[in-house]
A and B are shown apart, each in its own frame.
Chain A
Amino acid sequence: MTKSVFWYGCNMTRHGEIIRLSERILQAVGVDAAPVGGPSACCGSPKESTPRIAEGMGNRTMKSFNESGAPRVITWCPSCHMNLDDFMGQSNEQNFDSKHLCEALYEQRDRLAPLLTQTVNARFFVDRHVGFNGRVGVNEIIPELLGMIPGVSFADHSYRAPSYMCFGLAPIPGALADAQRATLDAMRETGADTLVTIFHSCHREMIGLERDHGIRVVNWVHLLAEGMGIAYEDEYKAWRNAEDPLAAIGAERVAAAGEVAVQKLVLPELTRPRLV
């Protein structure tokens, strides 16, 4: 049978280990899904200031998914997920169904639960946002999945950050800093020691808090992997929190990726100012 697709989106190329872990966890619960993403499988979101270009990108991706014969596209990115529902699927044939990764795992939670054998000592707070939760109940599903890990406790709180993920807040003066301060306040109120991010852009923005605020920041997939005893390394976090990101990446890898490109496109992101 043709594999499903795990559509990780485009900006997830920063987090190769989350893609690997997602594929492995899906496989462990009986779901074979091939990772697909990057510029050739774009929903058009990065180019939506020019809708005609965004449409062309979205149409190309739909054609590719339809021709793959995949019965299901498992989404990661909320932008991709909503664009699929709101635009791509409204103007193209769609020969597959779609679920978010957390839904696909939740469907298999009876198979996932016995695999979560490792004790993880964490009182975790989830970086929950409004917006996407109306499409997919990430704010309820993810704490429930993580709650199956031995040793953890869920620090529930009513705070919900605005924007469907931190990506939307980052370019608006003051907005992301306010959300980070509110998140830290909520964590203190609940006695949480671990901040769990749901989306990649939130992970990208929140991991910087680990260096100065005495908390641990992990993605929800990382925490599931820990519960399953799967080793991983969050390299992006290590690079972001290193005194010298280029040294942390390593000269050989920088050279292989293209030193000029890394200097121009990667380094400014890894060294951007911390907001709180």
Chain B
Amino acid sequence: MGTDQRMVAHQDWSALRESETARMLAACSHCGACFDACPMIPYAPGAKGSDKSETVRGVLDVLTGGQGDAAARNWIAVCTRSASCNEACPEAVNPMLMLRLAKWRGNETGALPKRDAAETMSRVKVFARLSFTEDEQRDWL
């Protein structure tokens, strides 16, 4: 079986994010095809019926450190990575990644609340103690 040795494309995640953000800003035409294709819009308060072009601009604002508007923030918050937007985008922006990176940026700036994952790993460990044998805990974790 062969191995897969690839070039490192980015120095770190910050560099990757900066590079992708710049690419997205240049490529996005704010047409709103991603918005139209998204199955989660009905779950985003204020997004349904909003101006799709303005909402996309709001997402890009959050992506670049701004606050965006409520429709944009709520859309970002309900993104579940359906990738329906990627199929719809005529500019190959990768809107799914755009929304994900916007969420990260919004978490950092405070525009979007952080997911409470404080207990996630503790829960993972307790379930391991319940589900795994002692040998499995030693070998698998």
Contact = CB atoms under 8 A, between A and B. Distances in A.
Interface of A: 4, 8, 10-11, 13-17, 19, 34-40, 42, 46-51, 54-55, 58, 71-72, 82, 86-87, 89-98, 129-132, 134, 162-164, 168-169, 171-175, 235-236, 249, 253-254, 256-258, 261-262, 265-266, 269
Given A91-B10, A94-B4, A172-B43, A50 B15 contact: no
A13 B127 contact: yes
B130 A249 contact: yes
B12 A162 contact: no
B141 to A, nearest CB: 4
Q: Say what secondary structure dominates the interface of chain B.
A: helix
A193 to B, nearest CB: 27
Interface of B: 1-6, 8-13, 15-17, 39-40, 43, 78, 80-84, 86-87, 97, 104, 107-108, 114-115, 117, 119-132, 136, 139-141
B5 A95 contact: yes
Given A49-B107, A91-B15, A173-B43, 15 more contacts: A13-B128, A16-B132, A34-B139, A35-B140, A46-B120, A46-B121, A49-B115, A51-B104, A93-B6, A95-B5, A97-B4, A162-B39, A265-B119, A265-B126, A266-B130
A10 B124 contact: yes
Given A90-B10, A164-B81, A266-B130, A39 B114 contact: no
A106 B119 CA distance: 36
A129 B131 CA distance: 27
A38 B5 contact: no
Contacts of B104: 48-49, 51
B4 A96 contact: yes
A157 B123 CA distance: 35
A38 B83 contact: no
Given A51-B108, A97-B4, A134-B86, A163 B131 contact: no
Contact of A93 (B8, B78, B126): B8
B129 A257 contact: yes
A164 B140 contact: no
B63 to A, nearest CB: 13
